[in-house]
Structure 1
Amino acid sequence: MQTVLYARVSTLDQTIEHQQKQAEAAGFKLDRVIADHGVSGVKTRLEERPEGKRLYDILRAGDVLVVRWVDRLGRNYEDVRQAIQEFMKRGVIVRTIINSMTFDGSTKDPMQMAVRDALIGFMAAAAQSQAEVTKAAQAAGIAHAKGLEDSKRYKGRKPSFTAGQLETVRNLTEQKAGVSAIAKATGLSRQAIYRIMEDPAAAEASLIEWGMSRKEAA
């Protein structure tokens, strides 16, 4: 049996190393790390990614697949739900670092199965919802920046956060994480986190003003 971390990064602000350190800090003893670089979870299914499709070849019954959260598997409801269900059919246990969720197909109790499958559906839907919220916020930020467009305008102070940190704040806020937990995960000050939470569109606009935004939701 083996424990495999699957990591996906879609921008320069994200790193494989960070996801690996998170897994190890959560107590996972990893045998292998498999990662896809520069791949969108919105546009590309797990089984179509260069490294994602390897998971279907190497994982066997009793193995554990670790992901930071289900959004690393994908940001589309059907893709995420089908991927987790397929791994469980093969006897693979899927575990998340954030929220410490475990998806195990070995249970035969109908009530446990119903709760598990409902939770899979909810988290898959949340992954897609977060991508849509991020995309909408980015669009709002772009519109806000264009509305202020003026060659002589004052751009304001340079943001103290990156696009990757902004996305993490959004994701963890959506998951109801506390400010202290978000600060620990991002390295940002509580004040910076509060400012982002109060007006995420303005935070996105600030990144755009300084040429620090990403082009699309990961």
Structure 2
Amino acid sequence: MTPTPKTVLYVRCSTSEQTSAHQITQARDAGFVFDDSHVITDHGVSGVSTKLKDRDQGKRLFDLLQPGDTLLVRWVNRIGRDYMDVKTNIESFLRRGVTVKTVINNMVFHPDHVLKDPMQIAARDAVLAFMVGIAAAEATAAREARRAGIDHVMDSANKADKYRGKKPGFDRKTLEAVLTSLAADAPNISIIARDNDLTRQTVMRIRKNPLNADTSLRKWGL
């Protein structure tokens, strides 16, 4: 007996904070019908670094889908690492007789035996190549934006560190202890340095300009 065609939703959550619930709800709100048992979720998987066939549930997806089934994804970039991986995977599913649909924009890519007309197949392939290319370009832009953001933060931190100067080798409690000792009659610099685990030069700088020492601690939030 021929098995009843099924719709399988594939969900990729790239971070531990993401869940499949949002993508499942979005798909059902868009009118797609599928059983909970046919929701395949990959957790904590980077779409940039991991091919679909190398993901735990990606392998299961290839085993589960049969001719006549429908693969549903939020967008084409869910099922591949890069342009070639996405394109190769979708073409593999189409050759298997699986229809691929997207929740966003409700794109539909039918297998050859459904379309039959060579012109329709050519049009499908052209649209597929275009959409996969757009997804790849968006992924590249997102990576570059993240990299730019990280570089900006690091650059700002470096500039802030330069503005603050060298981090003090003592905390506020130590500074107060040193100042108390220096206030005594005939203070011994070497003993003060030893007792506070500081160098004699540091203690002498504090004695020479305690205000600078205090300002330095404030710049570093100490």
TM range (shorter): 0.5 to 0.7
Distance in 2, matches of 1:14 and 1:130, equals 20
Q: How does 1:104-123 map to 2 (within 5 A)?
A: 104-105=110-111, 106-123=114-131
In structure 2, C-alpha distance between the alignment counterparts of 1:43 and 1:100, rounded to whole Å: 27
Residue 147 (structure 1) shift? 2.6
Aligned-partner residue type, residue 142 of structure 1 = I
Contact 2:87 2:132 in 1 (8 A): yes
Q: Closer, same or farther in 2 for the Cα pair 1:129/1:13, shift >3 Å?
A: farther
Deviation, structure 1 residue 11? 1.1
1:35 aligns with 2:14: no
Q: C-alpha displacement at 1:151, in angstroms?
A: 5.7
Residue of structure 1 in register with 2:88 after alignment: 82
Matches within 5 A, 1:62-81: 62-81=68-87
The residue aligned with 2:8 is 4
Match of 2:59 in 1: 53
Distance 2:102 2:18 in 1: 18
AA aligned opposite 1:92 = V
Unaligned runs of 5+ in 2: 164-222
- Indicate conservation of the 8 Å contact 2:52/2:81, yes or no: no
Structure with the larger helix share: 2
Higher-RCO chain (CA-CA 8 Å, sequence separation at least 6): 1
Q: Aligned-pair distance for 1:128?
A: 1.8
Aligned-residue CA RMSD (Å): 1.7
Q: Deviations over 1:141-164 (max 9, x none)?
A: 1222123222699xxxxxxxxxxx
For the pair shown, the structure with the greater C-alpha radius of gyration is 2
| Alignment length (residue pairs) | 153
For 1:99, the equivalent position in structure 2 comes to 105
